[in-house]
Amino acid sequence: MASTQLLDSINDPSELRRLPRAQLNALAEELRECVLHNVAKTGGHLSSNLGTVELSIALHYVFNTPHDRLVWDVGHQTYPHKILTGRRERMPTLRQLGGMSGFPRRDESEYDTFGTAHSSTSISAALGMALAARQKGEDRKAVAIIGDGAMTAGMAFEALNNAGVERDARLLVILNDNDMSISPPVGALNRYLAQLMSGHFYAAAKSVGKTVLGPVPPLFELARRIEQGAKGMVLPATLFEKFGFNYIGPIDGHDLDALIPTLENIRELMAQQSGPQFLHVVTRKGQGYKLAEADPIAYHGPGKFDPAVGLVKPATPPRQTFTQVFGRWLCDMAEQDQRLVGITPAMREGSGMVEFHQRFPKRYYDVGIAEQHAVTFAAGLACEGLKPVVAIYSTFLQRAYDQLIHDVAIQKLPVVLALDRAGLVGADGATHAGNYDIAYLRCIPNVSLACPADERECRQLLSTAFAQDHPVAVRYPRGAGVGVEPLKDLSALPFGKGELRRQGQRIAILAFGTLLYPALQAAERLDATVVNMRWAKPLDTELLLQVAAAHEVLVTVEEGAIMGGAGSAVAEALAAAGVLRPLLQLGLPDEFIEHGDPARLLALQGLDAAGIEASVRRRFAAELGLPAAPALKAVA
């Protein structure tokens, strides 16, 4: 890695602010190299962070952080911010168990003023901070940094609408537009206009113009049109000014000689309580690393790699992931049924829909980061006889819970919800974990929920879900399963029915989803019966009661929250039938689980084979006379 002499001298932003401005471009190069080489060693978000190097420097250079609040939207572009705020030495632990989070966290640093990881929350949070400062009589500023993708969400516009009426709020919204580039001539013009429009002369002239020309409507209207025309050279419509913001930009987000003077001017406008400000900066994903610039999607969240070589395909093809199983099923079912349409809220690659988009472009809908709209949009399609499939991460469906109940479930519309990333997701941590879908879905009338144990069942249960005349969700985890090859046909499994996978004695383990396989391993040592339940709702009560009648104790296993989860469904069914059996419910506890390797996290929660066996032995040692649980080695 190249020399980091300047970067090594900065342990917090106060030291950054002491640097001469002439050294900031060199600092940016060092910071970019630091991000690249650290992410190459640990994996993580790369393209977005390479694009915010100069913006991070400029914000901490101009604003008095942490007194002034920076709120980063989503937060996967905050590695430069973290490095500049005293966490450079922790970068080798990024997204590792016990290490630094890949997202802002309030308990990690005072510079992380708001915990983020889901999209489009920054403007709301920053407005809250700005108005809290006003109410408390504190002289502080709040800055929301939001990406162009996050601006597709309705929540961002709700916040803009609210903020626009707060004329004395010291609020700046920065739109980090990284989906376009600025050519040099336009960039120079943008720089000049941005500094002009953020300066005292422009603000004063604008105010005087309103005072002097206001009484003469024709002249005032002419002046207003000239002003809009000047801004229209770089922004065709002054949308954000309609919300009550003073719009500035667009400006090159990699040009510190433009960024810093513009931010300094905006800071002065905020100090004068000149109303909410809106700065439009244009950056490039992957900036400074040509491989990421050429393919920012591939380098969005890579694993470990050699920066000199870039990403390479593994010599041995990896096992098929559940996401790939879904993507192939979607294409195959679309060929067979013309009614199928696919919907994603801005997660085409992550949800495995690239091939579907290419083959069926007129039946593919990317609605942007708008989960609420995605679900209600699917409901509208279903009303007209189509069969919508909404591919959505489990953690993001939470954002559309009202729409799921009100618009889909009450009307009993046949929408299929393909819930990717169910259960623990590893390095992204608690904000992205799909731990709650079983609990929050099974309480909704008319909604069914399937839990495939492997790749073959995933394809079959998707076909089962598609065949129903009511909403059905299919939950599956991130990554690959055990390697059970899916069938080539589109055969379905019986709706709401489980299967007996191993016959044992005295103990019956009821497994929901992919934890079937560690349950089978544990059962070999316990000589326990294992049932692959397949469905959290409807529960196969006929099979459950048969198993309960033939065994002394029952165990449920799920990669989801114990509270209200599949184990709770089993307990409710037994109680309703008047069956009394000792029941051990294994799953995820009532706490948020940190980031780390998924297998290690499962082991820490006692959900690997050894953990399941140990829990059963501890719980039923007295009832069944089982030997004491063997001592387990601590998981590092």
Catalytic residue set = 285, 371, 399
Counting DSSP H helices and E strands in the chain, the numbers are 26, 17
Interacting residues of 410 by C-beta distance below 8 A, sequence separation 6+ = 446
CA dist., res. 159 & res. 171, Å (int): 12
Which region, left, alpha or beta, applies to residue 411 given φ > 0 means left and ψ of -120 to 50 means alpha?
alpha
Measured between alpha carbons, how far is residue 102 from residues 44, 430, 542, 591 in Å?
7, 11, 46, 19
Q: What angle do CA 432, 375, 74 make, to 5 degrees?
A: 30
Contact predicate 57/31, CB 8 Å: yes
Contact predicate 599/478, CB 8 Å: no
- Torsion sign (Cα): 554, 557, 558, 564: positive
Interacting residues of 245 by C-beta distance below 8 A, sequence separation 6+ = 160, 163, 164, 173, 275, 276, 277, 278
**Which backbone phi and psi does 340 adopt, to 5 degrees?**
-70, 135
Q: What angle do CA 163, 168, 169 make, to 5 degrees?
A: 50
Contact predicate 438/475, CB 8 Å: yes
Sheet holding 499-502, edge to edge: 499-502, 529-532, 507-512, 553-561, 583-588
Closest of 173, 154, 153 to residue 163, by C-alpha: 173
Q: Hey, what are 276's tokens?
A: 């909410």
Contact predicate 203/275, CB 8 Å: no
| DSSP state, residue 11 | S
Say how many Å lie between the first and final Cα of the chain, rounded: 30
Closest of 78, 161, 79, 159 to residue 126, by C-alpha: 159
Beta partners for residue 416, in sequence order: 389, 472
Closest of 349, 308, 301 to residue 39, by C-alpha: 301
CA dist., res. 629 & res. 590, Å (int): 24
Where in 309-353 does DSSP place strands (E)?
A: 340-344
Q: Hey, what are 589's tokens?
A: 């506890």
Beta partners for residue 510, in sequence order: 531, 556
Q: Hey, what are 284's tokens?
A: 């490039």
CA dist., res. 608 & res. 612, Å (int): 6
Which region, left, alpha or beta, applies to residue 495 given φ > 0 means left and ψ of -120 to 50 means alpha?
beta
Where in 133-182 does DSSP place strands (E)?
A: 142-147, 171-177
